[in-house]
Amino acid sequence: MTTWSTSILFILYVFSTLSSTECANGTISAVIAFGDSILDTGNNNNLNTMTKCNFPPYGRNFPGGLPTGRFGDGKVFSDLIVGSSVSDQLHLFKQYITKLEAVVGKEKSNAIISNALFLVSSGNDDIAITYYSLRLRSQFAVSSYTSLLVTLASNFTKDLYGLGARRIAFMGTLPLGCLPAARATVGGILCAETVNQAAQIFNSKLSSELSALNNSLSEAKIFYLDVYSPLLDLIQNPQKSGFQVVNVGCCCQGILSCAFPSTYVFWDPAHPSERAYRIIANQTLLKYANSFS
């Protein structure tokens, strides 16, 4: 069970991006991201997975208008946090370190890793798909399943720390019960509140565990990123940000998509639109900028 969950949560969609980002009082040497389809910039194209998005109309608002493997109409959260183009994507972090050492040497590689910001997205697919869609809830109560996910996240954080990571930002889940796919299971209008409650339980446990790790790992700066609240605000108050549709995605009824994706909070049944991502990313940077440094 542990091996399977770890592969879904942290290896299946691993990718990395490299940039130089000024943040508050320090310089972030790289942004290295692990997680699910909320962060994936196309690594999934080369993996044996059931779900793909490397075909139109995905990517219609991405530069060049071509599908890249991002689950959206354009840029995703990790693109907008980094603010630069994506470098070569690597499947495993240890391979990334080996290649980095070959390019810049071990000393410089260690400096890049220790000054990098590690961005991790966790829990979205595990709760929305594995637990609810695949009926895993017949085997686990929400409390025990979310505790298992947090244990995996904690172990992964310790592994990253052991490999030299010092600044680690963990994103909690989205309001999963308000995704169009979840709404469809309860009639399509209201959010699936039981799914939202599971997401909130996971997020609360994750936040507490990360705080404990931050205290126990002496050189680490580990913090929780709340992406649940800003997306829920867009869903509950769409007009405030100029959105018109919150209960369905712009894409994909057959091969068609809506004419104006910027008016939709969601691009497809499970992923926000680029405009929604951009608003969430801007709020995240404003709220957590000092933590990034």
Q: Where are the domains of the chain?
A: 2-227
> Catalytic: 268?
yes
> Does the pTM exceed 0.75?
yes
Q: Residue 27 pairs with which residues in a beta bridge?
A: 22
Looking at per-residue pLDDT, the higher value among 31 and 231 belongs to: 231
What are the backbone angles phi and psi of residue 256, rounded to the nearest 5°? -95, 155
pLDDT computed for residue 24 by the predictor? 40
Which among 232, 222, 231 has a CA at the least distance from the CA of 281? 231
Q: Which of 37, 109, 121, 273 is catalytic?
A: 37
Q: What is the per-residue pLDDT across 80-103, written as a single tens digit (0 to 9) for each?
A: 554 443 233 334 678 878 888 998
Average pLDDT, integer, range 35-64 = 63
Query: How far, in Å, are 96, 140, 206, 292 from residue 121 at the CA level?
Result: 19, 22, 11, 16
Chain center to CA of 151:
18
Q: Which of 16, 79, 271, 273 is catalytic?
A: 271
* 10 pLDDT higher than 80: no
Average pLDDT, integer, range 21-29 = 51
* 39 pLDDT higher than 70: no
- pLDDT tier at 174, thresholds 50, 70, 90: very high
> Catalytic: 16?
no
Q: What is the mean pLDDT of the chain?
A: 79
pLDDT computed for residue 99 by the predictor? 85
Q: For the chain, first and last CA: distance in Å?
A: 36
pLDDT computed for residue 6 by the predictor? 28
> Catalytic: 37?
yes
* 234 pLDDT higher than 80: yes
- pLDDT tier at 289, thresholds 50, 70, 90: confident
pLDDT computed for residue 88 by the predictor? 33
Average pLDDT, integer, range 183-192 = 93
Average pLDDT, integer, range 165-171 = 91
Q: Residue 253 pairs with which residues in a beta bridge?
A: 256
Looking at per-residue pLDDT, the higher value among 116 and 254 belongs to: 116
Q: Is 110 exposed, middle or buried (0-12, 13-18, 19+ CB in 10 A)?
A: middle
Q: List Cβ neighbours of 284 (8 Å cut-off, separation of 6 or more).
A: 81, 225, 227, 230
pLDDT computed for residue 161 by the predictor? 92
Paired tokens of 129 = 């798909």
